[in-house]
Amino acid sequence: MTTAPQTAQSGSPADGSGPEQPTIFVMYGATGDLSRRLVSPAFFELARLGRLPRQWRLIGCGRGEKTHEEFRDFIREALEEFGPQPADGPWDEFAANLLFAGGGFTEADSGELPGVLAQAREALGGEAELVHYLAIPPGAFLDTTKGFEAHGLVEGSRVVYEKPYGTSLASFEELDAEVQRVFDESQVFRIDHFLAFEAQQDVMHARFANPWLASIWNREHVAQVQVDVAETLDVAQRASFYDATGAFLDMIVTHLFQMAATVAMEPPADLGPGALQAARDAALQDFRELDPAEVVLGQFEGYTDIDGVPDDSTTDTLAAARVWIDNDRWRGVPFLLRSGKRMTADEQRVTLVLRTPEDGPYAGSATAPSTISFSLLEGGAVDVALTVREPGVAGGTTQGTATLPLAGLGEPALPYVHLIEHVLTGDRSLFTGVEGLRAAWTCIERFSNDRPAVLPYAPGTWGPEAADALAEPGQWFLRS
């Protein structure tokens, strides 16, 4: 095993400088949906910002056969559909760095990749760093990892695994044992792209940078923490994948566990990559084993009518869970996690529901609880809802909300732009840690063996009524 060399830090967009070391990216699954929608556009955005290395090549690796020019046309069409537009950046210069290696890549057969790699290395000269990016189905991770060793592609490289990194504790352990055997941990980057959302990072920085907020970030002041990711869309474009996975595996144990850990973690000594990842991992290790009685699964009516979904499918399109964190900061505070398809609205929120007064003139009153809620959509916003005096001679109280939009405070970057640049610089702060992932899969072992029945819910609602009970004696911040 060999630790990847440290790469120079990115230059600023103003001077157009990037890392000094020549770099070759190999994107496995380069013609797939993930590449088209997210990864390739992020590479082009980094080129627009001048934040790619001074010398680089991107090799698309796939099972099909394409010429280099055909692959460039494929990437151009992806940019035209998903942006940024080729005309808005250095397309000709960017395209000249795109190559394609067909024939697939497995432990038994490396396809055209060795020859195209040799071509790229000759063009760049010197010692080029190699970055393997696995935009492929998780079922192919294990064989591809073995292939890196079999074909001599481990030395001086970094490797990026998309989520889910395992689908159970057993599959996680099998995959990670092989990854750890082939690579040094410092070479490995495991993606959960929700960690790279601008607004997700805002939650963390708002807490640590504002003493008044940090002082109430605990069980003394917080009654509930709610993490909600709702979508109005169905799954028609990815029915076969989704039906084999479901909302719980696709969202709860991956994205929402990581978001909850970001809220729950202890303040790190600094904001360096090692400290942040370790703090999230430590929080995940405090998650109590999930009780199946505190999980609600739902399926929207009409799901089985979608092409590619079996008529008797019991796949969950909504999952809600009540999670407990056994440490001094959060003991006794429920973390409510919910995510689903065909819901009332498109929302992504982290909400702290504050405790009502226990003494003074408002003790025991029926005032609505104060909340601090972070919207994670469209650049983000912070909503602070407080109980205030109602104007007028009648008096009484009402609730008012102040909203701070975050989108206008700077130019946000898409999650994959952050992630790819962090791979370049060796910064793992926005990537999941192996101990945290192990803790997450361990947390759901009991649930995995005793899944509750899947309940129907009407499209355009917040899910089965049973999910509402998880929030009692309170209620969901997002509700009908």
| Confidence tier at 396 by pLDDT (50, 70, 90) | confident
Neighbour count for residue 126 (Cβ, 10 Å): 8
250 assigned binding-site residue = yes
Average pLDDT (419-437) is 92
34 assigned binding-site residue = yes
Gap between the Cα atoms of 38 and 299, Å rounded: 28
430 assigned binding-site residue = no
15 assigned binding-site residue = no
5: its two tokens: 């060399």
Helix (H) or strand (E) run with residue 177 in it: helix 169-182
Average pLDDT (370-393) is 87
pLDDT tens digits, 283-295: 999 999 999 999 9
Any idea which residues carry the catalytic annotation?
255
35 assigned binding-site residue = yes
231 assigned binding-site residue = yes
In terms of Cβ atoms closer than 10 Å to its own Cβ (0-12, 13-18, 19+), residue 10 is buried
Average pLDDT (148-165) is 95
pLDDT tens digits, 24-63: 999 999 999 899 999 999 999 999 999 999 999 999 999 9
Read off the pTM: 0.89
Average pLDDT (307-327) is 96
Give 323's strand partners: 335
In terms of Cβ atoms closer than 10 Å to its own Cβ (0-12, 13-18, 19+), residue 430 is buried
Is the predicted pLDDT of residue 362 greater than 80, yes or no? no
Reduced to 3 states (helix: H, G, I; strand: E, B; else coil), residue 253 is helix
pLDDT tens digits, 86-115: 999 999 999 999 999 999 999 999 999 999
3-state secondary structure 269-302: CCCCHHHHHHHHHHHHHCECCCCHHHEEEEEECC
Gap between the Cα atoms of 265 and 282, Å rounded: 7
User: Under CATH, which number does the domain 23-190 receive?
Assistant: 3.40.50.720
* φ/ψ (deg, to 5) at 440: -65, -45
Higher pLDDT, 356 or 456: 456
pLDDT of residue 357: 83
341 assigned binding-site residue = yes
Is the predicted pLDDT of residue 347 greater than 90, yes or no? yes
Are 424 and 7 within 8 A, CB to CB?
yes
pLDDT tens digits, 215-267: 999 999 999 999 999 999 998 778 888 898 899 999 999 999 999 999 999 99
Sorted by where each begins, the domain ranges of the chain are: 23-190, 195-413+434-469
214: its two tokens: 């940090």
331 assigned binding-site residue = no
CA 247 to chain centre: 14
468 assigned binding-site residue = no
Is the predicted pLDDT of residue 429 greater than 60, yes or no? yes
pLDDT of residue 87: 95
Quote the crossing angle between the two packed helices 273-285 and 434-443, to the nearest 10°: 20
30 assigned binding-site residue = yes
| Confidence tier at 5 by pLDDT (50, 70, 90) | very low
| Confidence tier at 366 by pLDDT (50, 70, 90) | low
DSSP assignment of 23-40 equals EEEEEETTTSHHIIIIIH
Q: Is domain 195-413+434-469 given the CATH code 3.30.360.10 in the classification?
A: yes
| Confidence tier at 18 by pLDDT (50, 70, 90) | low
| Confidence tier at 410 by pLDDT (50, 70, 90) | low
Q: Which residues of 454-478 are buried (b: 16+ CB within 10 A; e: fewer)?
A: bbebeeebbbbebbbebbeeeebbb
Q: How far is CA 169 from CA 67, 238, 245, 325, 441, in A?
A: 41, 25, 15, 19, 5
31 assigned binding-site residue = yes
